[in-house]
Amino acid sequence: MEQDVARIIAELTAKEKEVADLKAKLEKLQKDSHTTASLHPMEDISSALDHLRKKASLNNDEIMRYSRQLLLPEFGVKGQVNLLKTSVLIVGCGGLGCPVAQYLASAGIGRLGLLDYDTVELSNLHRQVLHGENRIGWPKAFSAAESLKRLNSTVECIPYHMQLTPENALQLIQQYDIVADCSDNVPTRYLVNDACVLSGKPLVSASALRLEGQLTVYNYKGGPCYRCLYAKPPPPETVTSCSDGGVLGVVPGIMGCFQALEILKIASGKDSSYHQQMLLFDALEGRFRTIRLRPKQNGCVVCGEEPTVKSLVNYEQFCGSTATDKCRRLCLLTSDKRITIQEYKQILDDKIPHLLLDVRPLVEFNICCLSSSINIPLSNLEQCKPEDIALLKEKMREYKRNLQSPVQVYVVCKNGNDSQKAVCALQKMSGSELDSLEAKDIQGGLMAWAEKIDTKFPQY
């Protein structure tokens, strides 16, 4: 009896391992096939998509599936039939794009174009709800299409694993009825806007950061386009991305749901409520505010009476930033004022005396830090906050008890941008507010430390 049990347990364990191995193999194959199939060739864009079926009635499956929305007098069979013949291009399959695609597919939109150049990362999953743990490394466009297929196999999903560019944007957008801007950077927002104006498509646009969201419909029924509101791009240093500023996942979730709602209204034949209106959402206060916007501007360079932008331009140049939300690399200091992460490791190993100043915001310092570091956030340093200056002075005094000046300060931050600004600030204070010191920044910051020196150090 006991022998039988042991034998069966052993057999089960072996079988379970076999199943796990097979699953892993399958997953790898699926992932590889998606990655190799990745680049959607240009021909696919240029060859026009088939017309969506035009039909006046619904079949029994459709009636059952969509029954709860068919019961709404505001929507009804007519709304559903309209929806089934509408195509929507979703630019960006991230925090906004996922809920937009999810609700449009569930509601029975005819066709969804899913565009994203990026691949799924672990730090995306808290807000990009169509992607799962088993999708890490997949192109987001394919991951989204795969999830949507399970949700509603009758919706045609076309993934585009590519960047939207001035070269492909018109060709792509012309093939869709409505465009959803779910992108995460300024150049893409101007590009999508211009392409929608030039092809006469309504642009349902939302954005989210930290605990706030904004939504409006551009280029729609006499309302403004993006350029009518923002003729000049913001200075790049004033733009914060989700990877820098953070975002609570549910905030883009809420804004994406609003986008889906407005698209459903337009697609089913109703008007959007946000024509010449903008919705502002403050999640912390739990408050929505709707504001009246200016109408389409006669002097607008793209949608005005005498447009000067008649074809798509170079938007990265126009905005002075790249069309991604990835971190920019600053280069403020000469190489003699910088050390590599390997050099810093050597300094630690050789026990060379120094102060390590971490200039990240406290909230980031609380996530992780190097044990010997002192935290003075960059903004406090730049403002010469008295308590922080006092702390630094105190540490410098301790240092000089044993050693001669100048004090050697190494400055670290997350990626090696703010640390350079901090070195500039310290140089100005050296010999005046502070005793003379020698400051250098650590290139690549703590993320380089995590990547190259201590792989157990958290990345965020």
Minimum separation from the CB atom of position 350 to other proteins (A): 38
Shorter beta-carbon distance to other proteins: residue 239 or 409: 239
55 annotated as ligand-binding: no
Smallest gap from Cβ 425 to other proteins, in A, equals 12
CA angle 204, 206, 210 (to 5 degrees): 175
Pick between residue 252 and residue 444 the one whose CB is nearest to other proteins.
252
H runs (alpha helix) in 85-206: 97-107, 140-151, 169-173, 186-199
Question: Residue 110 CA to chain centroid, in angstroms?
Answer: 26
Q: How far is the CB of 182 from other proteins (least distance, A)?
A: 5
Q: Pick the closer one to other proteins by CB: 96 or 411.
A: 96
Query: Which C-beta is closer to other proteins: that of 210 or that of 395?
Result: 210
Report the distance separating Cα 77 and Cα 56, nearest Å: 9
Residues that bind other proteins (CB under 8 A): 92, 94-97, 181-186, 189, 206-210, 212-214, 229-235, 237-242, 245, 247, 252, 278, 280, 282, 289-294, 325, 379, 382-383
Binding residue per annotation — 350?
Answer: no
Residues with catalytic roles: 242, 413
**CB of residue 383 vs other proteins: minimum separation in angstroms?**
6
How far from 287 is each of 131, 209, 211, 213, 304, CA to CA, in Å?
A: 29, 15, 11, 11, 34
DSSP designation for 255: H
Asked whether residue 300 is marked as a ligand-binding residue, the answer is yes
**Closer CB to other proteins, 355 or 376, in the complex:** 376
What is the number of residues in the chain? 460
The answer to whether 124 is a known ligand-binding residue is: yes
Q: How far apart are CA 83 and CA 105, in angstroms?
A: 10
Q: How far is the CB of 259 from other proteins (least distance, A)?
A: 10
Nearer to other proteins, 314 or 383 (CB): 383
Is 126 marked within a binding site?
yes
Within 121-165, where are the H helices?
A: 140-151
Annotated binding-site residue? 327: no
Q: Which of 71, 97, 237 is nearest to 164 (CA)?
A: 97
Query: b/e string for 428-452 if b means 16 or more Cβ within 10 A?
Result: ebbeeebbebbbbbbbbbbbbbbee
What SS3 class is residue 253?
helix
User: What phi-psi label fits residue 241: left (phi over 0), alpha (psi between -120 and 50 degrees) or beta?
Assistant: beta
140 marked as binding residue: yes
Residue type, 36: T
Task: Tell me the C-alpha distance between 419 and 286, whole Å.
Answer: 35
* Cβ 429 to other proteins shortest distance, Å: 16
Q: Which residues are annotated as a binding site?
A: 95, 116, 123-127, 140, 184-185, 225, 228, 300, 303
Q: Which residues are annotated as a binding site for ATP?
A: 95, 116, 123-127, 140, 184-185
Q: Which residues are annotated as a binding site for Zn(2+)?
A: 225, 228, 300, 303
